[in-house]
Every structure is written in structure tokens, then in C-alpha cells.
Amino acid sequence: MPSWYAPPTELLVAHRHGEPVGYLVRERSAGLVRVVEVAGGVDALRALFGVVATTAHADRTVRCVARLPADPVVGAALPWLLRDPVPEVDETGMVRPVRADADRLAATTGAPGAFHWPGDYL
């Protein structure tokens, strides 16, 4: 599970038989909840999305922003978080050049808007 988030960001963990089976990272502010990162199977994500939705309802949150992958597991759990999601395209990506050839790596990292983030090295 990620450990680079700090308060007020919250890390929620789903457990089965005492073992972690999924997690969700959220940020809350007045009227808004952001789902920043998720991992887990359908059951874990349904439980985690349900917690976020229940808390958001209790907080009278009016907006949810969730940057989620177009993944069948996420799609199956999404109704537990959002009734009528409005998809948006996000072209953010990550490059881990373990086996990339030098020309392709140079083209990717040299593209407009590309930047280097050494977060994985910390």
C-alpha cells in the first residue's frame, strides 16, 4: 500500500480475514471528495467505494472526482461510488523504461508536458 500520502489525505483499507485486500486514497474538503488511488478486487472496491459514498452523503458532499483506470474491476464496483458518472479523458501516463529502446524513451520523456518524478526512488 502506498505510504507517501500525508494528512489530510486518508488511506482506507479493506480487510478479509484480517488481511488487507484493497485500499483507497481519498481527499475531502467542503462539498468535494477526491478518490486519488485505488487497488483491489471487486468486493474490496465495492466496500471501499461504499464507505466513501456513505461518508460523502453524511458530509453533504455534492461532488466527487475520481481518477480511475478504465478497468473491468473498477467498472463493476463503480456503482457503489457514483450513480451517474461523467467520464473524462486524462492522458496522464507513467513510463518505467526497464526494457524500452533509447529512441522511444527519448521521444516519450521529451514530449511536451512530460516531466521526471523520482518518487519511486525515495
Q: What is the pLDDT of residues 44-60, one digit of tens each?
A: 999 999 999 999 999 99
Residue 101, in any domain of the structure: no
**Tell me, what CATH number does 26's domain have?**
3.40.630.30
Residue 36, in any domain of the structure: yes
pLDDT bucket at 34, cuts 50 / 70 / 90: very high
Please tell me the predicted confidence (pLDDT) of residue 97: 64
Please tell me the predicted confidence (pLDDT) of residue 122: 42
Q: What residue numbers bound the domain in which 45 lies?
A: 10-89
Residue 80, in any domain of the structure: yes
83 versus 16: the higher-pLDDT residue is 16
Residue 43, in any domain of the structure: yes
Nearest in space to 64 (alpha carbons), one of 87, 81, 47, 43: 81
Residue 25, in any domain of the structure: yes
Residue 2, in any domain of the structure: no
Q: What is the pLDDT of residues 100-116, one digit of tens each?
A: 788 887 888 888 877 76
- The grid coordinates of residue 72 equal 473491468
The domain tally of the chain equals 1
pTM: 0.74
- The grid coordinates of residue 6 equal 500525508
Q: What is the pLDDT of residues 50-89, one digit of tens each?
A: 999 999 999 999 999 998 888 899 999 999 999 888 888 7
Residue 94, in any domain of the structure: no
Residue 59, in any domain of the structure: yes
61 Cβ neighbours under 8 A, 6+ residues apart: 28, 31, 32, 33, 55
